[in-house]
Amino acid sequence: MIIAVDGPTASGKGTIARALAAHYGLPHLDTGLLYRAVGRQVFLSEGNPDDAGAALAACAFPESLLADPELRSEETGGYASRVSVHPAVRAALLERQQAFANQPGGAVLDGRDIATVIAPHADAKLFVTASVSARAMRRWVEMKQLGKDVERAEIEADLEARDERDRNRAEAPLRQAAGTALLDTSNLTKEMAVATAIALVEKQLGEKA
C-alpha cells in the first residue's frame, strides 16, 4: 500500500505522514529532507542555490548529511525551495523517491509532488494544507523550541515566498492532484488532524476495494 501526502511547508503533512506510517506499519520518507540536504550541501560548498549546476552537484551529498539538525532550519528550508526549482535536481532525486515508494509492501511519502509525479498510482492520496498564519505560528514555536530567535512575521513572509516558488515552478509545481482528499489543519490539534487523515485514507481504500 502506498500513501501519498502532499502539501506546503508547515501544514502538518510530515506529522501526519509519520502517524500514518506508524498506524499502518509502513516505512516513511520525508522527500523534502532530500531537497533540504541538497540545499544544505550548496550552502556548505558556498554555492549559489539559484545556479542549476551548483544545485545538481549538491545532489551527491553524503548520506550522513541527512542527520544534520541544520536541515530543519529556516535558512536551509529557503535553500531547499530554491534548489527544487531546477529540473535537473528533481530528476536526480526522482529515482530514489520512486524506488522507496515502490518497495515491497508499500510506503508513506510526504512532499509536494508525491501524488502528481512520484507515485500517482498511490492507493491513498492526501493534500494537507493550512492558512499561512497558522503555519507561521507552528514554525515559530518549533524554532523557539530549537533555541532559534526568529520573528514570526519573518517566517510568514518566508512561507509566502516559498509557496509562490513551489506553486509556480515549471517542474512538478505544488498542486492538489485529481482524486486527492483535502485536509485543512488550520484549526485542528495534532490528534484531530491524524484521526481525520486516517479516516480519509480508510475512505479511499474502501472506495477502491
Looking at residue 20, its pLDDT comes to 98
Annotated binding site for ATP: 7-15
Q: How many CB atoms lie within 10 A of CB 123?
A: 14
First to last CA, the chain: 12
Annotated binding site: 7-15
Looking at residue 169, its pLDDT comes to 84
Looking at residue 170, its pLDDT comes to 81
CA distances from 173 to 38, 117, 133, 142 (A): 18, 10, 22, 26
**Class at the top of the CATH hierarchy for domain 2-208:** alpha beta
Looking at residue 209, its pLDDT comes to 75
Looking at residue 166, its pLDDT comes to 87
The model carries a pTM of 0.86
- Interatomic CA distance for residues 134 and 91, integer angstroms: 32
- Interatomic CA distance for residues 37 and 70, integer angstroms: 9
Per-residue pLDDT of the chain (209 residues; tens, 9 = 90+): 999 999 998 999 999 999 999 999 999 999 999 999 999 999 999 999 999 999 999 999 998 999 999 998 889 989 998 999 999 999 999 988 999 999 999 999 999 999 999 999 999 999 999 999 999 999 999 888 888 888 999 999 999 998 998 899 887 889 999 999 999 999 999 999 999 999 999 999 999 87
Looking at residue 142, its pLDDT comes to 87
Reduced to 3 states (helix: H, G, I; strand: E, B; else coil), residue 126 is: strand
Looking at residue 74, its pLDDT comes to 83
Sequence spans of domains, the chain: 2-208
